[in-house]
């Protein structure tokens, strides 16, 4: 997720959930406008993590040549999966006719995927769509275009672009996507607690599940482990340390990132119903002290 799940956070999630519960992750989208992205930008997205589990590099753009060359570079620097984002509703993406703008034209979606796929020799091509723009009438057509375009897996965020991130979700749309293609479908949208992962698979037949925002409040949502306050606080301290070590991030930047998580934090009873006492802490050092006290460090 853009602005949130940079490599430090992703690596911690992979550390605290075993592979049978968390099989891999994707980077935040890397926006490709007119020129291919430099390798250093792609490396920064991919991060240093080189474990067994795949980290897919997600691209978003509309320029076939720039996307193709960026995908080639992504493979060269070791991305095992290259994913193309067709779900982003942000204005910037729409202005560039990328992200969810492409959902209006399944044939263009297919062309984009072909261009990216033809640049790859070893890495797998995957795609992520929303269920549609304002309605879902073209959902199966979109899923089939992704398959025709060469995607080895398709993630379907079951909300339409107009539905934004609304709490209500209709998982039957995932079933429709699953039934329309042969490739594995990864279901996404509205997973709130660990039990939802299995429920989504059972109810929709999707092969995989992607968790979005709920992982920000409970990094253990994949395994379902119930952690206590000290382990939860330890996670946040490790995250702070990793941000400092990797980016030499300032204390206030680190506090900002921690508050981003604390705003929706559920694990270990650390925050309770009301995150405001945590969010009101203006001194980054005191924020860390509070976490250290809880972690018993």
Ligand X SMILES: Cc1cc2nc3c(=O)[nH]c(=O)nc-3n(C[C@H](O)[C@H](O)[C@H](O)COP(=O)(O)O)c2cc1C
Which are the catalytic amino acids?
88
Q: How many CA atoms lie within 13 A of 15 on its CB side?
A: 12
User: Closest distance between ligand X and the C-beta of residue 154, in Å?
Assistant: 12
- Residue choice 22, 46, 57, 191 for contact with ligand X (CB under 6 A): 191
* Binders of ligand X in range 204-243 (CB under 6 A): 211-214
Q: Report the alpha-carbon angle 25-28-31, nearest 5.
A: 140
Does residue 284 bind ligand X (CB under 6 A)?
A: no
Q: Are 182 and 153 in contact (CB under 8 A)?
A: no
Judged by beta carbon, residue 49 or residue 263, the one nearer ligand X is 263
Q: Contact at 8 Å (CB) between 125 and 152?
A: yes
**185-188 and 153-157 strand pairing:** parallel
Name the closest residue to ligand X (Cβ): 212
CA 21 to chain centre: 16
Residue closer to ligand X by CB (options 3, 282) is 3
Residue 257 sits in the site that holds ligand X (CB under 6 A): no
* Minimum distance, C-beta of residue 294 to ligand X, in the bound complex (Å): 26
- Pick the binder of ligand X from 11, 28, 63, 163 (CB under 6 A): 28
Which residues are CB-contacts of 26 (< 8 A; sequence separation ≥ 6)? 55, 56, 57, 58, 81, 83, 128, 210
Phi, psi at 32, each rounded to 5° = -110, 115
Does 69 interact with ligand X (rule: CB under 6 A)? no
Stretch in the footprint of ligand X (CB under 6 A) among 1-9, 31-39, 112-120, 243-251? 1-9
Quick check: 31 binds ligand X (CB under 6 A)?
Answer: no
Site residues, ligand X (CB under 6 A):
1-4, 28-29, 58, 85, 87, 128, 157, 165, 188-191, 211-214
């Amino acid at each position: 997720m853009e602005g949130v799940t940079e490599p430090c956070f992703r690596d911690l999630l992979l550390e605290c959930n075993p592979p049978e519960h968390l099989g891999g992750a994707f980077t935040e989208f890397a926006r490709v406008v007119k020129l291919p992205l430099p390798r250093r930008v792609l490396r920064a997205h991919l991060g240093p993590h080189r474990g067994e589990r795949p980290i897919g590099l997600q691209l978003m753009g509309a320029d076939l040549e720039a996307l193709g060359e960026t995908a080639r570079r992504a493979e060269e620097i070791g991305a095992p999966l290259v994913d193309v984002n067709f779900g982003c509703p942000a204005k910037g993406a729409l202005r560039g006719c990328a992200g969810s703008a492409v959902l209006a034209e399944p044939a263009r979606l297919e062309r984009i995927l072909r261009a990216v796929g033809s640049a790859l020799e070893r890495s797998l091509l995957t795609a992520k769509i929303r269920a549609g723009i304002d309605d879902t009438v073209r959902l199966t057509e979109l899923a089939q275009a992704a398959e025709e375009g060469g995607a080895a897996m398709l993630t379907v965020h079951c909300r339409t672009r107009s539905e934004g991130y609304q709490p209500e979700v209709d998982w039957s749309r995932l079933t429709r996507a699953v039934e329309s293609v042969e490739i594995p479908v990864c279901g996404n949208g509205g997973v709130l607690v660990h039990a939802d992962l299995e429920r989504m698979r059972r109810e929709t037949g999707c092969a995989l599940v992607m968790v979005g925002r709920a992982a920000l409040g409970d990094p253990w949502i994949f395994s379902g482990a119930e952690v206590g306050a000290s382990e939860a606080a330890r996670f946040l301290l490790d995250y702070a340390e990793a941000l400092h070590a990797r980016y030499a991030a300032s204390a206030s930047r680190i506090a900002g990132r921690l508050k981003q998580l604390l705003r929706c934090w559920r694990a270990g009873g650390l925050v309770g119903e009301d995150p405001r006492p945590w969010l009101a802490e203006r001194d980054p050092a005191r924020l860390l002290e509070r976490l250290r006290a809880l972690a018993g460090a």
